Chains A and B, each alone.
Chain A
């Protein structure tokens, strides 16, 4: 079994209202100078065959039309 972490984020150019909402909230809490906030998902898993992770991401974990994914083997 190998452990992996998959990071999924909205594609560049797709409006991410969650990221915008976080960004707008920060100055009110005294955190100035933070921008380009993007909110995504993280999936941790253990796989027998890590070579198949990309296929798994394409078919289920991410929607390639709207999301990018990044696989990190741990």
Chain B
């Protein structure tokens, strides 16, 4: 398994994402936003940060980058794509994932460890993460309030596209139905607001983030 990790002007978590791919047993290299070259890569991580300064709306400009065109092709071909935080926002803006991320309900930037629960995703890439499995992962964002219209949410629940929910008391951004992460219909594109790439070493308190990288790499291999 070889991951590409996108790098936009304003990305800031790409190094940790590279490290997370590697400690989870895969290889990884950076992909500059102006490059369409995903040769030799099996999957892509769209990392956190503030791509293009979050101008207009978070993720709105990044979605038009050449690298994102290549990511859309990879996703259409069934390759795994993992969007974290700003990467989740980019994937929603690009239409690769349903919904949108809005300003946190309390208007404050949130930086804290949160508990996520496996939501019974139907994605083959998340096999091995059981419904109700608890993952301790840091969250840090100002615009993480997941929103989709009610009928869309009903559809996502029916098709098993809700990947993660915030545990009770951990939904501090005000996301609808406690949604922390969703997949596309095929299950190969996953986006979530908290940062699994920051939870891969006991030094920082939790290694639960590895579970997500390992699960995606296992299915891709």
Residues of A within 8 A of B (CB): 14-15, 17-18, 21, 60-61, 63, 65-66
Chain B binding surface, main DSSP class: loop
Residues of B within 8 A of A (CB): 56-57, 60, 64, 93, 99-100, 102-107, 147-149, 174
Known A60-B60, A61-B56, A63-B57; contact A14-B99, beta-carbon cutoff 8 A: no
CA distance A63 to B102 in the complex (A): 11
Among B100, B104, B106, B107, which residue has its beta carbon within 8 angstroms of that of A66? B100
Asked if residues B56 and A65 are in contact (CB atoms below 8 Å), the reply is no
The smallest beta-carbon distance between B155 and chain A, in angstroms, is 14
Among B64, B100, B105, B147, which residue has its beta carbon within 8 angstroms of that of A17? B105
Among A14, A17, A61, which residue has its beta carbon within 8 angstroms of that of B106? A17
26 contacts between A and B (CB under 8 A): A14-B102, A15-B102, A15-B105, A15-B174, A17-B103, A17-B104, A17-B105, A17-B106, A17-B107, A17-B174, A18-B107, A21-B107, A60-B56, A60-B60, A60-B64, A61-B56, A63-B60, A63-B93, A63-B100, A65-B99, A65-B100, A65-B147, A65-B148, A66-B100, A66-B102, A66-B147
- Chain A residues closer than 8 Å to B93, beta-carbon distance: 63
- Chain B residue nearest to A62 (CB atoms) is B57
